[in-house]
Structure 1
Amino acid sequence: MAMFTRPAILHNRLYHGFYLQPFRTFVDARVKWVRDAYLDFAVEKEKNLKQIISLKNLIISQPSKTIPLSTASVYKTTFNLPTTATNFFQKYPSIFEIFQSSKPLSLPHVKLTPQALTIHNEESKILNSAHYRKDVAERLTRLLMLTRAKKLSLNIIELLRFDLGLPHDFILTLLPEFPEYFQLCNMDDNSNVFGLELVTWRDDLAASVLQKRSTEENSGIKRAIPIKFPINLPKGFDLEKKVRIWMHEWQNLPYISPYEDAFFLAPNSDQAEKYTVAVLHELMHLFVSKKTEIENLLILGDYLGFGPRFKKALVHHPGIFYVSNKIRTQTVVLREAYKKDLLAERHLLMGMRYRYLHLMNRKMKPKRLYGVRVNVSNKHASPVKRG
C-alpha cells in the first residue's frame, strides 16, 4: 500500500528554508461582517431544497412510490422540516400530490406529481452515469485524503452527503463499484461506529484546485512563486490598513498543499493559518454548490484535528469565505465560486437541483376533498385523481 503522508519531507523543506517564515500571529484588529445580498440570495433561494429532495427520495424508494399521509409526522425530525410534514407537502403542490386511493376505507397518501417525477427520472440518469459516478467517487476520495487517518465516520459523510452530491443510497450503490478506492471499516476497536477508509493513496488526485490553477496559469511550469487565494470583497467593504498589510504578507507565505500533513506547525502561526485556509478552501471546492452549513465544517474540523481553527479562519478571511445567516442556520459560501448569486461553473447535478427550485416556485391552486387538500394546477384544473 502506498505511503499516505509525507510529514517528514515537508518538515525538512520548512526547516531548511523553503517554507520557513518568522512566527507571526493575526493582527489585533476586528474584521467586521458585511452582508452580501447576492450570496444571501444564493443561499435563501435554495430554502427547503434539501428537505424536498430527501422526501422525494423517500417516496420514490417505496414499492408503491407513495407514502401514507398518516405516517408523515415522523419525517419532521428526520429531515429537519420547518413545519409538520403534512403542511410541508401542502406548501409544495407542484412537487407532492396528496390523493385518496379508490380502495375502500383507504387513507390519504402522498406521491410525486408527474412534473417532479420527470425531473427525478432525468436526475437518476445523471446519478447513474459512469461519468458522474467516477466524478463523485473521486471527490469522496479527496475528502478521505484530507484526513490524517485516511478514514471518516459514515455519520460525518452523511452530514455532507447532500453537499457532495452522493446518491442517497451510496453505501449500497456507489461504494461497491469502487473497491480499489474505498472499504468500510470500524472507526474504533471498541465501538460500533463504522467509517469509510481509503484503500490506496492517489497521487493523481493529490493536487489542490489552487495548485492545478497555478500550474495551468504558468503553462505547466511549476514556478517558485507564492500561491495566493482569490479575494473578492463586496462593494463597501473596507479592511483596516493594518489588516490589509497583514493580508498582503499572509498571501505571500508559502502555500502548503491541504493533502500534506502540516500539523507540526505552531497552531497559532500565520503559516498554520494559511494551511488551515488551504484545507477549508479545498473542502469547499469538493461540494457541488460550493457551500455548506457551518456546523458541518466545524464538526469535520474537529475530527481533522483543527479544533477552533476552522472557525477562526472563516472570521479572518471574509474575502475568501462568506457566512450567510439565511434559512434558519449559518451557511459558508466560497466567494470565488459565485458571480453575484449564480455559480460561475455549474455542476451537472446543480442544473437538476435548479429545476426542482423552479418547480417549487410554481404557483398552484389547492382544492379540498374529504378534508384533504388536493393539488390542481392553475392552468389545467382537473378532477381528483384516484389510484
Structure 2
Amino acid sequence: MGVGLGTAKLPHRLNPIRTFVDAKVKWVRDPYLDFAVEREKNLHQALSFKNQILFQSESNPSKSKSLSLSLASLLKPSLNLSTSSSKFFLRYPSFFSIFHPASALPPRVKLTPALLSLHYQESAIHTSLPHRSDAVNRLSRLLMLTGATRLPLYLIDRLKWDLGLPHNFVGSLLADYPDYFQVCEVEDVSTGRKELALELLSWREELAVSELEKRTNQSKRIAFPMCLPKGFELEKKVKDWVEEWQRLPYISPYENGFHLSPNSDQAEKWTVGVLHELLWLLVSKKTQRDNLFCLGEYLGFGSGFKKALKHHPGIFYVSNKIRTQTVVLREAYRKDFLVVKHPLMAMRYRYIHLLNKMPKTNRRKSLVVE
C-alpha cells in the first residue's frame, strides 16, 4: 500500500546501499521457545468456542449457556480445527460437557463450572480500569505504527488475541473512548472495495517512544538485543555484517522511514525496529507469521518483514509447532518463560492447566441427559 508514517521525513545522512551478505543463515531449533508455543496448542480454539457459547447466551438470554453441536461444527473452518468439533469437546472434558436436552433435541455442548470460574476472573481483568487503559494504549500505539493512524478492522481482528483485546472489543472497549477512536472506511487499493477501519483521532506523542528507547534512554545509537540459542554460531562474514548493521543509527518505528532506499541496511534496521515494537505490543510477544506478513504487506513493507526474520535469527525466532509458523521475540523470553508476564498471560496459563486436566471421573464417552 505504501503508506508513509505520519511524521515528516527525517534527514538521516547514513543510508548506505549495502545489501545483506551472500551467506545462508540457517534455522536452528530452539526447544524452549518451541515449548512456549506448543503449550498453547488448541487454547485459542477452545477459548473461541467458550466465547461463542457465551455470546449465544447473551444474545438469547432465555437459552442456557450452551451451543448445539451442529452449530459448533460450522465454526470448524474458521478455527482451523484438525478434528471434528464434537471430538474436540470430548478431548477436553474439564472445559466442555456434551449433553442431550430432555426435550430430545440434538446434543449440545456447555461450559464446565471450572471454565466459567476462570472466565469470570478473566472478565474482571478486562473490565478493570488499569487493563482498559493498557489495552487502549497498546491499540493506539499499533495504529501509530501504521503512520496513517488507521487500520482495517479485519487486520486488527487477526491480532486481537495477541493484543489481549476482549472478544467484542469494538462494543465493550472502544465505545467508551470516543475521543480516541472512530470507525471509518478505507479503500483497499488492490480491490477498490471499501473496508471498515479503526482510526486514532489524534497522535499521542507521549506514546511515540519505542520499548528500546525507553530502556536505553537515548534515541540514536541503539543496538537490538541478540539472543542466539546455545550451539548456534553465525558465519564470520554474517557476524561482521550484523555488528556493523547494529552500529547504524536507530530510527524510531514511530518515525517516517519510507524515504530510505528499500535495499539499504538503514532501511532494514528501521524495518526490524517496526517489527520489534509490534511484537513487544503483544501480550505474549509472539504471533503467527502470516499475521505479520498480512500487516506488513498492507503497510507497504513488501518483503521487508520476511527479510528481517531471515536475516536476524538472534532477534526473532520462527517456530514450526502447532501446524503453523509462529514468530517469537527472543529477548522477551528466558528459556520458555516470559520475562514480563502480562496479567492476561497469567490467566492463559491457568486456562492451559485446566485444559489439560482430566476429571477424576472421566465421562468422555458418556452423554448426560438434562
TM-score range, shorter chain: over 0.9
CA distance in 2, matches of 1:22, 1:341: 38
Once the two structures are TM-superposed, the CA of residue 106 in structure 1 deviates from its matched residue by 2.7
Q: Does structure 2 conserve the Cα–Cα contact (< 8 Å) formed by 1:7 and 1:262?
A: no
Once the two structures are TM-superposed, the CA of residue 147 in structure 1 deviates from its matched residue by 0.6
1:360 pairs with 351, 355, 363, which one? 355
CA distance in 2, matches of 1:359, 1:35: 28
Q: Residue 8 of structure 2 corresponds to which residue in structure 1?
A: 7
Once the two structures are TM-superposed, the CA of residue 23 in structure 1 deviates from its matched residue by 2.6
Letter in 2 for 1:341: D
1:179 matched to 2:169: no
Q: Residue 296 of structure 2 corresponds to which residue in structure 1?
A: 301
SS in 2 for 1:110: strand
Q: Does structure 1 conserve the Cα–Cα contact (< 8 Å) formed by 2:147 and 2:254?
A: no
CA distance in 1, matches of 2:98, 2:297: 43
User: Equivalent residues in 2 for 1:191-206 (5 A)?
Assistant: 191-206=193-208
Q: Residue 69 of structure 1 corresponds to which residue in structure 2?
A: 69
Q: Does structure 2 conserve the Cα–Cα contact (< 8 Å) formed by 1:5 and 1:261?
A: yes
Q: Residue 378 of structure 1 corresponds to which residue in structure 2?
A: none
Q: Does structure 2 conserve the Cα–Cα contact (< 8 Å) formed by 1:145 and 1:259?
A: yes
SS in 2 for 1:196: strand
1:272 matched to 2:263: no
Q: Does structure 2 conserve the Cα–Cα contact (< 8 Å) formed by 1:281 and 1:334?
A: yes
Q: Residue 277 of structure 2 corresponds to which residue in structure 1?
A: 282
**Structure 1: where are the runs of 5+ without partners?**
216-221, 375-383
1:33 matched to 2:44: no
SS in 1 for 2:198: strand
Once the two structures are TM-superposed, the CA of residue 81 in structure 1 deviates from its matched residue by 1.5
CA distance in 2, matches of 1:295, 1:367: 38
SS in 2 for 1:184: strand
Once the two structures are TM-superposed, the CA of residue 296 in structure 1 deviates from its matched residue by 0.3
CA distance in 1, matches of 2:71, 2:275: 40
Q: Deviations over 1:195-222 (max 9, x none)?
A: 001100000000000001011xxxxxx4
SS in 1 for 2:366: strand
CA distance in 2, matches of 1:5, 1:70: 48
Once the two structures are TM-superposed, the CA of residue 173 in structure 1 deviates from its matched residue by 1.1
**Structure 2: where are the runs of 5+ without partners?**
58-63
CA distance in 2, matches of 1:352, 1:288: 12
Once the two structures are TM-superposed, the CA of residue 21 in structure 1 deviates from its matched residue by 4.4
1:243 matched to 2:229: no
CA distance in 2, matches of 1:351, 1:97: 25
Q: Residue 135 of structure 1 corresponds to which residue in structure 2?
A: 134
Letter in 2 for 1:46: E
User: Equivalent residues in 2 for 1:1-387 (5 A)?
Assistant: 5-8=6-9, 10-11=10-11, 14-15=12-13, 20-63=14-57, 64-102=64-102, 104-188=103-187, 191-215=193-217, 222=218, 226-364=221-359, 365-367=361-363, 373-374=366-367, 384=368, 387=370
Q: Does structure 2 conserve the Cα–Cα contact (< 8 Å) formed by 1:101 and 1:109?
A: yes
Q: Residue 61 of structure 2 corresponds to which residue in structure 1?
A: none
Once the two structures are TM-superposed, the CA of residue 367 in structure 1 deviates from its matched residue by 3.2
CA distance in 2, matches of 1:346, 1:148: 29
Q: Deviations over 1:111-137 (max 9, x none)?
A: 111110100010000011111111011
Letter in 2 for 1:69: L
SS in 2 for 1:99: strand
Q: Residue 218 of structure 1 corresponds to which residue in structure 2?
A: none
CA distance in 2, matches of 1:261, 1:22: 17
Q: How many residues align?
A: 356
Q: Does structure 2 conserve the Cα–Cα contact (< 8 Å) formed by 1:59 and 1:111?
A: yes
The percent identity for this pair of structures is 57
Larger radius of gyration: 1
Q: Does structure 2 conserve the Cα–Cα contact (< 8 Å) formed by 1:226 and 1:254?
A: yes
| TM-score, normalised by the number of residues in structure 1 | 0.89
Letter in 1 for 2:37: V
Once the two structures are TM-superposed, the CA of residue 65 in structure 1 deviates from its matched residue by 1.1
CA distance in 2, matches of 1:130, 1:205: 18
CA distance in 1, matches of 2:106, 2:362: 19
- CA RMSD, Structure 1 to Structure 2 (Å): 1.6
Letter in 1 for 2:27: W
Q: Residue 60 of structure 2 corresponds to which residue in structure 1?
A: none
Q: Does structure 2 conserve the Cα–Cα contact (< 8 Å) formed by 1:150 and 1:197?
A: yes
Once the two structures are TM-superposed, the CA of residue 5 in structure 1 deviates from its matched residue by 2.6
SS in 2 for 1:23: coil
CA distance in 2, matches of 1:200, 1:281: 24
Once the two structures are TM-superposed, the CA of residue 109 in structure 1 deviates from its matched residue by 1.4
Of 172-181 and 346-355, more deviation after overlay is shown by 172-181
SS in 2 for 1:81: coil
| TM-score, normalised by the number of residues in structure 2 | 0.93
Q: Does structure 2 conserve the Cα–Cα contact (< 8 Å) formed by 1:90 and 1:373?
A: no
Once the two structures are TM-superposed, the CA of residue 373 in structure 1 deviates from its matched residue by 3.1
Q: Does structure 1 conserve the Cα–Cα contact (< 8 Å) formed by 2:180 and 2:202?
A: yes
